[in-house]
Amino acid sequence: MNKMQRKQFVIPQEIIDQFIDHLYHDRGALKACALACRSWVSSSRYHLFGIIALFPLGDGEDGRFSGLLGVLDHPLCTFASSVRTLCISTDDEQNPTLPPPTWAESLIPGLAKLVSVKSLIAFAIGGRRFGWGPLFSSTTFITQITHLRLECPDFITFEDFTGL
């Protein structure tokens, strides 16, 4: 049989997606799949970028999220639509000091680019640790949230909680 007579076997994309879905826990395999074939990228990114967690790390307020914002603003950024859950946490064992409530304000304008986020998880966040006002005023982002989960909330008074 010569090369002209050989039939090419093509696996349907739906079956490939099922295989990739079974790799959801293996980040290395998902990365390899995303690099191996262009048609596998979206299925791999669905699991690789499904959840993004943000912590108040870094020394300078201005540069805290500059890397992430730069990537989100880049015209070739293609992973933003894969993010479905945003986790915001001030629980950091390495840095037990309380960050100022404004620590995430520089990030809020970039959240509008995360168009598929439906779930917002706030861990160890209350009125003392996070300024909710700017987040709730970013209507483009906040109106797409259908699931809000508060874990270990840090509210001092009932008014702090109702101030959400």
Same domain, yes or no, for 82 and 141?
Answer: yes
Same domain, yes or no, for 18 and 38?
Answer: yes
pLDDT > 60? residue 96: no
Q: Does 5 map to a domain?
A: no
Same domain, yes or no, for 43 and 65?
Answer: no
Give the chain's domain count.
2
What whole-number distance in Å separates Cα of residue 126 and Cα of residue 157?
A: 10
pLDDT band at 57 (very low <50, low <70, confident <90, very high): low
Q: Does 123 map to a domain?
A: yes
Same domain, yes or no, for 43 and 122?
Answer: no
Average pLDDT of the chain is 81
What whole-number distance in Å separates Cα of residue 141 and Cα of residue 9?
A: 44
Region 75-84 average pLDDT: 90
Of 117 and 89, the one with more pLDDT: 117
> Could you tell me which residues come within 8 angstroms of residue 56 by beta carbon, excluding any fewer than 6 positions away?
64, 90, 92, 95, 99, 103, 104
What whole-number distance in Å separates Cα of residue 161 and Cα of residue 164?
A: 6
Same domain, yes or no, for 55 and 130?
Answer: yes
pLDDT > 60? residue 4: yes
Q: Does 3 map to a domain?
A: no
Q: What is residue 84's predicted lDDT score, i.e. its pLDDT?
A: 95
User: Which residues span the domain enclosing 19?
Assistant: 12-48
For residue 89, what are its two tokens? 């946490």
